[in-house]
Amino acid sequence: MRIANLHTHSEFTFLGSLLKVEDIVGLCAFYGYNTVCIADLFSTFGFFALQKASEKEGLKPIYGIQIFVKDVEGEKSFPILLFALDSYGLKNIFMLNTLANLKFAKTSKYTLEFEDLKSHKDGLSVLVEEEILNYIDKIDLLEKTLERYKEVFKENFYIEFNYTGQKKIPLMKELLSISQLYNIKGIPACETRYRKEGKDAFDFLSLLREKSYKKNEKGRKIDLTYDYSFKTKDEFLHIFKNHPELLENLSNLVDSINVSIDLKTPKLYSFSDEKNFKNLCEERLEKFLAKKSDEEKSKYKERFEKEFNLIVEKKLENFFLLAYEIVSFLKKNKIPYGPGRGSSASSFILYLLGVTKVDPVRFNILFERFLNPARVQLPDIDIDICWKKRKILFSYLLQRFEGNIAHIATINRLFPHTLVNEISKVYRLKKEKVRLIKKFFPPASRFSIIDVLKGEKDFLEIYTSDNEIKDFIDIVMKLEGLAYHSSVHAGGIIITPERLENYASIEVSRSGDIVAQLTKDDIEDTGFVKLDLLGLRFTTIIDETRRKVKLKKIPLNDRETFEMISSGDTIGIFQLESSGMRELLKEIRPDSIEVLANTIALYRPGPIKSKMTEEYVKRRQNPSYEKEKTFGIFKDTSGILIYQEQILLLAIKFARFSWEKAEVFRKAISDKDVSAILQMKEEFILGCISNGLTEQQASRLFSIVVDFGSYAFNKAHSISYAYNAYIGAYLKKHYTLDFFVSLLNNYIGFLSKMDRYLFEIRYRGIGILPFDINSSDILFKKENNSIRPGLILIKYVGKKLAKEIVKEREENGNFKDLIDFCVRMKKKGLNIRALEYLIMAGCFDFTSAGRKNLLAIVPEVLRIISSKQSEEEKGVTELFPLDEEISTEAILKKYKIEEESEKEKLEMEFKSTDFFVTFHPLESVKEKIIDWEIDKIEKIEFLKYAVIVAFLQGIRIYKTLTDEKMAILTIFDETAGCSAVVFPKVFRKYENIIKTGEVYLFKGRCKGKKIFVEEMFELNN
């Protein structure tokens, strides 16, 4: 007898279950079920994970969903459960859930009409309980309810007997009477949302759910007096032992279900036939080979044939045609795109088609990492495109593949910071204790509580010494990592061969994007084409700079560029600008794109921690290292295993593995699957011995692969990003001013980056001119050999007003003074707040009236202008007669205000933009600290103790549990910002000198991105 608990919610009933799909499948397998089901509320996110996990455990999957439908009166709505009996039913589940999501996008409610059910009933069974219970005392409405379900679903309509504890038995007896009286079959179920030990945590999760979804059906109150714990098969059978007819109905229903999701067959959109693809590729090859030598022609032809034959064998012509169509559109519409990302740069054919810009033959990149005979999954198409024009491409794709395309989703999960914030409110934990806990979980932190307990002695001490905090943290631990809500993936898009609703549900994001209820992992496992079209600012920066200087070709071996890179002068270069990377560049001193790619691949936590990076540096600095007998596989990486491609080559050339086995071996090493690795150890060593290596050499080679292989990187990706970084570095070196203008314009709104780049520009001796209402454009611009900031940087101005100001100036000449500006701009979006901030930024310094003076007269100026404009509207033709009373000078005479100091001007500039434009306060102490050993804030996370010179921007004062004052300061130097923690003892000592707007020297211990201040001194006093 097949038994399944049909009323089971996974974490994809967002905030409505503690159980992940894999947990549910694992529990069912362990406790004797041969079938497993999930039925989430308005969600099919778990379907693909269910299929995958069920196949692994040998269980039969059942796909269900819980939706709300309007009752027979059309006034209330009630939940029902739907289950797919066959492939038609699965499609109808997707369609009904899509309709519910589309309805929510329009009305903020998910409830469907019964007519929607009628239109999509095929292949579905339905379980109804709550609506029936609602009409127990209203026989006519009860009968109408039963009749409409019977009419539509016939024998596939069941009454649900949902056992959630003894309290439910009286209601179930009522349902039994109805079932017998009206001859409707019943199905037993035990609503499941957590393991037995999860009750307390679930109660808190429910409160968070009600708060998060309080305005729609997802926030519907769950009666927490009922039991929603997982029931073993024996427990389930025991609960319903007195009702064998219900168990028999369940068994028959489960047996009748015959549906699964195909995880293997590629699902490609059809473009053309094989002949057209072949012609296209051969034309491109012929053109490419025209200027090559005979030796090169032979090498490229061999590579082409190998790739082409495998593509045809795997029937992937349409996959490559899709990539070609996308880049053709990008080129036609002059949308910049990058050289490649991920493993796509491994393909010579994609290079010929213009999809990538890195020649894989020249850079010795292995095609088989992208596609090999054993690879089952479809490769991805990853393209970096101009972030400003990404929407143009998306619009085209949505129109071109209408009905077959959607954004993919990403699942946002509950991390400790969010949980501590939210759960503490309902847990009623004291604010002081909440603050204490939150110190260890900053907003961007992705460390688990277990990680922090292991790594932070202070947190462990709090956890073990305070029972209230321990109990609270234990609750949070049970909730962390659960699905919170879905959102739109940054660049992921799915294209399907048929209408998308045949494969997945669709929802609509807040911004109106069509999103499939599929994640990146779902798509990789199921044979769909996934595009990852990421908007990248650096792609835009390179394109804008090249257009400005009209540069078409860039040599890839420019000595000056590599010297600049090797000196660590790489601020503003994507992938190369972090402090740690800059230090590594100085040690490795790249002299080619290949070595730069090695550097990028090695600057990751794994290689650094395993000492791979350190060993590579030693070998670069001393090339006489012992060369392994590896026939050139390690030749380009100084004898170090850096790339995943090297693992594949070692397995094939030495161990004589097939491509299939080599790919399994590579994946096992990347995933650190110890059992799979050990199973292949003997075969690897024997293969190497048969290939001429000694047993000792073979064992050593296996150890190298196992020890370092899990940190190996994708060479195609690394070469592509090294190529892109080199192009950017070339532009920075040879077209410095143009590069920096483009860099600044593409990072407007990123305050820390803006501050860093402006400091870098000033450091190089490039002048930053002040704001000027008659000279500043909308954005930064090059002016002689300096840079002029744009009006859009000033708060409350915005793009629209900045455009109007520049347009007015171009059409009617420069503004003479403040009054002239106000008269001309008053009806074009100018308001008092924008005017004040323009003045504070220094836009009217050319008048020599003084910023304080101009700020003082703003209200009167605007009042006079409004009055005069009102007269004009009544027929007065001369808006401003040239009399003395309305001149700026005349108005200023009424006010006696002191001139602002240079320091005050700087403070005004900072207030109006949130960063320092023309001058940084640290420059005022530059001479004083020139010989001091000062640490930079960008490096403090790697230091135990630091001496920092920084500008104090913000102060927050707190009281400890013992009622003592302490402070957390927000400080910045030219590289970054951080928090400076001043505990009570130190705070008492320095309280009188702590004030914003000053430059200090801080000394103290470092932990993460914080410095714990022990001493501090004001440097300008």
DSSP for 518-556, written as a single string: EEHHHHHHHTBEEEEEEEEHHHHHHHHHHHHHT-----T
Strands (DSSP E) found in 397-469: 405-413
Stated pTM of the model: 0.86
Residue ranges and CATH numbers for the domains of the chain are 21-256 (3.20.20.140), 274-411+487-538 (no CATH), 415-480 (no CATH), 766-913 (1.10.150), 921-1018 (2.40.50.140)
CA atoms within 13 A on the CB side of 30: 9
- pLDDT tens digits for 699-724? 988 988 888 888 889 999 999 999 99
- pLDDT tens digits for 135-163? 999 999 999 999 999 999 999 999 999 99
The per-residue pLDDT for 884 is: 41
Predicted confidence band at 521 (pLDDT cuts at 50, 70, 90)? Answer: confident
Q: What are phi and psi of 304, to 5 degrees?
A: -60, -50
Which strand ranges, in their side-by-side order, compose the sheet holding 781-783?
767-768, 786-788, 781-783
Predicted confidence band at 226 (pLDDT cuts at 50, 70, 90)? Answer: very high
Is the distance from CB of 613 to CB of 607 less than 8 angstroms? yes
- The answer to whether residue 263 scores a pLDDT higher than 90 is no
The per-residue pLDDT for 85 is: 98
- The answer to whether residue 244 scores a pLDDT higher than 80 is yes
CA distance 1011 to 217: 47
Percentage of the chain beyond pLDDT 90 is 67
Is the distance from CB of 320 to CB of 349 less than 8 angstroms? yes
Q: What are phi and psi of 922, to 5 degrees?
A: -65, -25
Q: What is the mean pLDDT of residues 670-690?
A: 90
- The answer to whether residue 837 scores a pLDDT higher than 90 is yes
The per-residue pLDDT for 432 is: 85
The per-residue pLDDT for 610 is: 84
Per residue in 243-269, is it b (16+ CB within 10 Å) or e — as a string? Answer: beebbebbbebbeebebbbeeeebbbb
The per-residue pLDDT for 623 is: 66
Distance spanning both ends of the chain, measured CA to CA:
86
CA distance 372 to 367: 8
The per-residue pLDDT for 860 is: 85
Predicted confidence band at 674 (pLDDT cuts at 50, 70, 90)? Answer: confident
For strands 999-1007 and 405-413, give the pairing: unpaired
Q: Helix count (H) and strand count (E) of the chain?
A: 41, 20
CA distance 410 to 520: 7
Is the distance from CB of 381 to CB of 327 less than 8 angstroms? no
The per-residue pLDDT for 82 is: 98
Tell me the two tokens of residue 399: 């129109």
The per-residue pLDDT for 624 is: 61
Give the relative orientation of helices 659-670 and 644-653 as an angle to the nearest 10 degrees: 140
- Residue of higher predicted confidence among 974 and 550: 550
The per-residue pLDDT for 882 is: 39
The per-residue pLDDT for 897 is: 72
Q: What is the mean pLDDT of residues 304-329?
A: 93
Closest CA to 341 of 785, 908, 627, 724: 724
CA distance 726 to 593: 7
Task: Name which of 214-218, 333-337, 477-481 the model is least confident about.
Answer: 214-218
Dihedral sign for Cα 357, 360, 363, 366, please: positive
CA distance 412 to 500: 23
Q: Three-class SS of residue 46?
A: coil
Q: What is the mean pLDDT of residues 31-44?
A: 96
- pLDDT tens digits for 743-790? 999 999 998 899 899 989 998 989 999 999 999 999 999 999 999 999
The per-residue pLDDT for 274 is: 62
Strands (DSSP E) found in 272-334: none
DSSP character for 480? T
- The answer to whether residue 418 scores a pLDDT higher than 90 is no
Is the distance from CB of 952 to CB of 939 less than 8 angstroms? no
- pLDDT tens digits for 636-665? 888 888 999 999 988 998 999 988 888 889
List alpha helices for 735-797, DSSP H: 736-745, 751-763
Dihedral sign for Cα 560, 565, 566, 568, please: positive
- pLDDT tens digits for 587-630? 999 999 999 999 999 999 888 888 889 989 998 887 665 454 45
- The answer to whether residue 854 scores a pLDDT higher than 70 is yes
Q: What is the mean pLDDT of residues 475-480?
A: 93
CA distance 658 to 648: 10
CA atoms within 13 A on the CB side of 564: 23
The per-residue pLDDT for 435 is: 86
What is the chain's mean pLDDT, rounded? 91
The per-residue pLDDT for 50 is: 97
Angle among Cα 933, 937, 941 to the nearest 5 degrees reads 105
- Residue of higher predicted confidence among 685 and 634: 685
